[in-house]
Amino acid sequence: MGTLVLIHGFPLSARMWEPQLELAEQGWRIIAPQLRGFDGTPSPSSVATSVDDYAGDIIDLLDGLHVDHAVIGGLSMGGYITFALFRLAPRYFRAMVLADTRAQVDPPQAIEGRKKMMAAVHEQGVTAAADEMLPKLVCDSTRTNQPEVVATLRAMMLENSADVVAGAIAALMTRPDSLPLLPSIHCPTLILVGDADAITPPAMSEEMQRSIPGAELAVIADAGHMSNMEQPVAFNRTLSRFLERRV
């Protein structure tokens, strides 16, 4: 047992990890950091605009809590930040968890899309990001059978300020290529992905698994990009088995 750090995705908040808090019953101390400015926290003195800004904040948090070794992971943007943290300070990693994420940078077309979203957020507020992201975040069966998941996601997004979300878009589009980093990840690593993830499809996870020595891959059935919220039972079972066996 030990500390499990779970980093949230874009443009959400730490509350997305609520279904995973039950792992605390197995003795894990769970830290789900609220990234700078998210979840309606008062306007930060400076808005984060890079994955290194977020990773630096998490290092400060871990140091403040005297945590020098943890299982660290995240979903999607949380995965990009996990890579940034590993690049800056690999010594903190006892194991890594990469959920519905990818190692490569945005292709030029995606960068154009990010710029448009940033302009729309500045003009119309966070609703613009929520309207664009929501249809892609969950799979069809979640949309039909678990409307409460969609409602929770929307509420989480709308709690964030436009400046913080625009800063996060800047962080997404400037993140460095993590493909060269993958072969140097020697801690136990679990990759999870929803079988119907439309943003970071399973092929991207397979690519990461091939490059990270000894990495395990679990494809979660009937889940889109938010696999931890859409299929919490399967997600938690997979994560908890990995932690029991490998950590």
Q: Which of 12, 32, 6, 4 is nearest to 225 (CA)?
A: 12
Q: How far is the CB of 202 from ligand MLT (least distance, A)?
A: 15
Helix (H) or strand (E) holding 5: strand 3-7
Q: Is the dihedral of CA 1, 208, 104, 141 positive or negative?
A: negative
In DSSP notation, 96-120 reads: EEEES--SSPPPHHHHHHHHHHHHH
**Residue 33 binds ligand MLT, judged by CB under 6 A:** no
**Residue 77 binds ligand MLT, judged by CB under 6 A:** yes
164-223 binders of ligand MLT (CB under 6 A): 172, 199
Helix (H) or strand (E) holding 98: strand 93-99
**Residue 10 binds ligand MLT, judged by CB under 6 A:** yes
CA angle 79, 82, 87 (to 5 degrees): 130
Q: What would the two tokens of residue 95 be?
A: 């194991």
Q: How far is the CB of 25 from ligand MLT (least distance, A)?
A: 27
Which of helix, strand or coil describes residue 215?
Answer: coil
Complex with ligand MLT: residue 1 or 119, whichever CB lies closer: 119
Complex with ligand MLT: residue 77 or 118, whichever CB lies closer: 77
**Residue 227 binds ligand MLT, judged by CB under 6 A:** no
**Residue 142 binds ligand MLT, judged by CB under 6 A:** no
Complex with ligand MLT: residue 10 or 38, whichever CB lies closer: 10
Q: Is 140 exposed, middle or buried (0-12, 13-18, 19+ CB in 10 A)?
A: exposed
Complex with ligand MLT: residue 72 or 172, whichever CB lies closer: 172
Q: How far is the CB of 86 from ligand MLT (least distance, A)?
A: 17
119-138 binders of ligand MLT (CB under 6 A): none
Please work out the total of residues on this chain that contact ligand MLT, with binding judged by CB under 6 A: 7
The answer to whether residues 68 and 76 touch, using CB atoms and an 8 Å cutoff, is: no
**Residue 50 binds ligand MLT, judged by CB under 6 A:** no
Residue numbers of the site for ligand MLT (CB under 6 A)? 9-10, 76-77, 172, 199, 225
